Structure 1
Amino acid sequence: MATPQAHPARARDLGLYPATGRTGDHNAITDVPGVRVGHTTIIRAPRIRTGVSAIRFGDEVSPGRALPAGLSVGNGFGKLIGATQLAELGHLETPIVLTSTLSAFRAADALLSWVLDQPGNERVRTLNPVVGECNDSVLSDIRARPVRPEHVLAALDEADRGAVPEGSVGAGTGLVALGFKAGIGTASRMIEVDDDEHTLGVLVQANFAGVLRVHGRQVRPPTPSAPQPDLGSCMVVLATSAPLDGRQLSRLAARAVFALGRLGGAYTHGSGDYAIAVSTSAGRLPPPDRALSPVFEAGLDATEEAVLNALVAADPVTGPGGRVVPALRDALG
């Protein structure tokens, strides 16, 4: 297992994203108070490039301390475990774990064990673990299902605040998006909601098809590559300190899915495009809907920037069979 450090260059550093909107200290989902991110990266070259990413929220979310949450499905060709209860009840009762498609079910069982073992959960009899996934079979032997419970537990236990490693790390290790090596990316915005200042943060697991658009222009890989199988997906997780309710959070999540289209996302038949939005301010009165426009705009912008950060941070990778997936930085010269 290895955890690469965050790449020093980000989309704003390279002029790929205008410096609009005030960010938090780290321009990351961890700028939202109480939110922590952990990664476990699994690389056994040349066949295995995969991993786990975990997002934890506040004073540990649990069945007895659920947080308001919402879900939006852009294209439902995915294995988002826990989706129906998330949509039906509008609340989240576990951390969110991201991993590879065929490892999602093992990851859900490990997350279940981790939550049940937390103090205060001794009497829990029902639980809805939430695990998202992307298909990393272009660069990893997905049938090997190398993710084990210890990998999930390590990502959860090592979750921390501060800067978030991006690119080929954790659940982003084997991912390809818009023709380039991609993976995990994050961004944040400071927002005003009903005269109160709050933070909104986004983390993406980017693996979707299409042709990248930056400043309205298409950016293609420097050399033609073999057509990518129709296996793309994107998981977007939004967190905010604003006290939105489940319905409002579902509306926010929809904007994050829309943001993928800004970048050239194709929403292909085999793409699982999902967004989950979570409020860390449970128990407070939600703002009126008329106050939500700045939140929606921030969600769109931060999601777009997070995907670009994932692309900028990733290095080129040679996968099984010698296929080379280029880095966006190389295409930009």
Structure 2
Amino acid sequence: MRLRDLGITIGSGTPGAFNAITDVPGVRVGHHTLNAESADGSMHTGVTIIEPRPVAAHLAPCFAGVHVLNGNGDATGLEWIREAGLLTTPIAYTNTHSVGVVRDALVAAEREMGKQHTYWCMPVVLETYDGILSDIWDQHVSTEHVQAALEDARSGPVQEGCVGGGTGMICHEFKGGIGTSSRVLSSEEGGWTVGALVQANYGVRDALRVAGYPAGSVLKDIPSPYDGPVNVGVPGMGSIVITIATDAPLLPHQCTRLAQRASIGLARVGGGTEDDSGDIFIAFSVGNSGLPVANLGHPGPATTPLKMVNNDYMTALFVAAADAVEEAILNAMLAANDVQGRGRKALALKPEQLLAAMAKVGWAPQP
């Protein structure tokens, strides 16, 4: 179940065919999910991969930019993006304690694809904390799991909810995880597509807003995974990582501006104000091809012809990014299922619960 299936729409824009980040040409998403519950411990974690192009990323770099709203989290590869403005690897989502193994596995995969070149890489790995439901200290994610996620990468509909890196995540004290959405601009606005994919693991219940309505104020009495001893954590702790993709031909500084607009979508749902949250966003553009490939000792041409979106046309892209992020977060919650781990239970936001709450706060479906 997704938000639009309930008759709830975000903004006035038009989603793409899949209403997913994969509506951006060439973008692919893959997951590998790890689930196990036993007397020995809880394992609810995994890896999600976003491929910017359907070829080895280092052979077809993309312009990219990053934005950190709140830095209570970590990531690899962002400094090189800030410096060079280029995304040259896939993007991975995982849990906090698996950043290293995922990064190393992506290095190995890139080396296997590019070993005929003199080449180095700095993979982009983003994390959020799933230690409420999963035994994070056991570091379950392995190289083989990263490879499985890479092999799973495809276009088309994207699995959401309790999959891949989002398997053990919590959002607004409901079960969270992976969510996605997209917008296609009108021909007058440029005709480009903007897609977002989130790993949502943040927020308190009563701050939740849906399409501008304070639904969380009605839902706040539903049991929370944080109920019980305080040493497991407090509501609002966690993080959210967001990737925005577009085929609009943006330069790196314009990608950074687009990444900043993820903050708006997050704020509309009720996030972005917690000290304990790592809110890290990346945006990339596939709109320019033929960008320079890192091939040390064998430089290519001295210049590269480029296209860029004029600033007068950036507003529509900003609106699309904010709307897609907002909807992606809510899709992540609605697609999830109940998950129990480490003696805690995170309940999914049920469609009937949300519709009843929205009715109580004054929302009604459009005729």
Paired residue type of 1:298: A
Q: Distance in 1 between matches of 2:115 and 2:61?
A: 13
Aligned to 2:253: 247
- The residue that corresponds to 1:317 in the other structure is 339
Find the counterpart in structure 2 of residue 290 from structure 1. Answer: 312
**2:321 counterpart of 1:299:** yes
The percentage of aligned residue pairs carrying the same residue is 41
1:91 matched to 2:86: yes
2:214 pairs, out of 190, 214, 217, with 217
Give the match for residue 114 of structure 1.
109
- The amino acid across from 1:25 in the alignment is A
The answer as to whether partners of 2:62 and 2:88 remain within 8 angstroms in 1 is yes
Partners of 1:328 and 1:307 lie apart in 2 by: 12
Deviation of 1:64 (Å): 4.3
Distance 1:18 1:123 in 2: 46
Matches within 5 A, 1:142-161: 142-161=136-155
Equivalent residue for 2:265, pick from 259, 269, 286: 259
Q: 5+ unaligned residues in a row in structure 1: which ranges?
A: 1-8
CA distance, structure 1, for counterparts of residue 143 and residue 150 of structure 2 = 11
Amino acid at match of 1:17: T
TM-score, scaled to structure 1 = 0.92
Give the aligned partner of residue 5 of structure 1.
none
Q: CA deviation at 1:18?
A: 4.2
Q: Max radius of gyration: which structure?
A: 2
Equivalent of 1:45 in 22, 32, 37 = 37
Structure 1 ranges of 4+ moved more than 4 A: 192-195
Are the equivalent residues in 2 in contact too, given 1:221–1:326 (CA < 8 A)?
no
Match of 2:197 in 1: 203
Letter in 1 for 2:281: A
Cα 1:255–1:266 shift into 2, 3 Å: closer
The one-letter code sitting in structure 2 at the alignment partner of 1:105 is G
Deviations 1:268-313 (A, max 9, x none): 2221101110101224311111210000000000000000000000
Q: Which has the higher helix share?
A: 2
Note if 1:328 corresponds to 2:355: no
Q: Deviations over 1:19-52 (max 9, x none)?
A: 7311111100111110110000000115010000
Normalising by the residue count of structure 2, what TM-score does the alignment of the two structures yield?
0.84
Q: Quick check: 1:185–1:307 contact (8 Å CA) kept in 2?
A: yes
Provide the alpha-carbon RMSD of the alignment: 1.8
Pairwise CA distance, 1:216: 2.2
Q: Distance in 2 between matches of 1:151 and 1:114?
A: 12
Alignment pair present for 1:186 and 2:180: yes
Deviation larger for 240-249 or 207-216: 207-216
Closer/same/farther in 2, CA of residues 18 and 127 from structure 1, 3 Å limit: closer
Q: For structure 2, which runs of at least 5 residues remain unmatched after alignment?
A: 290-305, 357-367
Q: Deviations over 1:144-165 (max 9, x none)?
A: 0000001001101110111101
Who is 1:4 aligned against?
none
CA distance in 2, matches of 1:14, 1:65: 39
CA distance in 2, matches of 1:259, 1:34: 24
The range that moved more, 97-106 or 224-233, is 224-233
